[in-house]
Structure 1
Amino acid sequence: MRKGMTGAQLALRFLLELASLVALAVGGYGARPDGPVVLRVLIALALPVLAVVLWGRYAAPRRPVRGPAALWYGVQLLVWGGSVALLAVGGHPWWAFGLGAAMAVNTVALRSLGEWSPEVER
């Protein structure tokens, strides 16, 4: 039962990571509604790319940089918190609330299963 629950929570975690990339793009585009479209598109493209680079280097289970735990937590907070904040600022507060709630519940579940800490490697 525990193995199935862990697998389901890890799969949900992956989907939430993908959703955070979409939220960064949508929120980045909508954060400056009065700005030029070219700038908005560039922001919408740059934010997810930056998040992927940071996540892959410092927060992924197979990350190449094994820095202090504060760095691991900080990158996750920056990417996930930023995606929720930008989604809210970009005019989608209910989507931001739902995404943030799902992220929080998933993080608590994975922590209780022993699968969410900087020491976990896959």
Structure 2
Amino acid sequence: MTASDDHSHLTALRGRPWWFAANEVLAFVLELVAIGCLAWWGFTAVDGWAASLLLGLGTPAAAVVLWALFAAPRARVRLPLAGVLAVKAVVLGGGAAAVHGTGHPVAAAVLAVVLVVNTGLAEFSRRRV
């Protein structure tokens, strides 16, 4: 990201309520958390170092590529809203499912609720402005 990218992003936030910017920051943090959860699951899901390494690195890498291609603000492929939400459901929902897969169902449910509320609010807010 260049300085001009930072400036254009900040310009896009001007004139918006404070909660919009806070929700955007939370969305970014949740994206990173989901990627981290996928890695955590991958490294602990199977026995054997080779399989663990493959899943631990490959699963989050695949999620990052999927996100960059279809769900990122500057995605390579512009999908309609339903497509973007489907990709977000796979990646973010996969993060929550990964937490469940590591044996933490309550944390997975809390994460899933936060992800749904945050994504819903973000998409609704982005479309209204």
Counterpart mapping for 1:17-96 below 5 A: 17-32=31-46, 35-96=47-108
TM-score norm. by structure 1 comes to: 0.81
Which amino acid is the alignment partner of residue 60 of structure 1?
A
User: Percent same amino acid at aligned positions?
Assistant: 36
Query: How many residues are aligned here?
Result: 114
Q: Does 1:110 align with 2:112?
A: no
Higher helix share: 2
**Which residue does the alignment assign to 2:30?**
16
- Supply the RMSD in Å over aligned alpha carbons: 2.0
Gaps of 5+ in 2: 1-14
For residues 101 and 69 of structure 1, what CA distance do their matches in structure 2 show?
Answer: 20
For residues 103 and 50 of structure 1, what CA distance do their matches in structure 2 show?
Answer: 20
Structure 1 position 86, deviation (Å) = 1.8
Structure 1 position 27, deviation (Å) = 1.6
**Which residue does the alignment assign to 2:18?**
4
For residues 54 and 107 of structure 2, what CA distance do their matches in structure 1 show?
Answer: 22
For residues 107 and 63 of structure 1, what CA distance do their matches in structure 2 show?
Answer: 17
Which one scores higher on RCO, CA 8 angstroms, separation ≥ 6? 1
Gaps of 5+ in 1: none
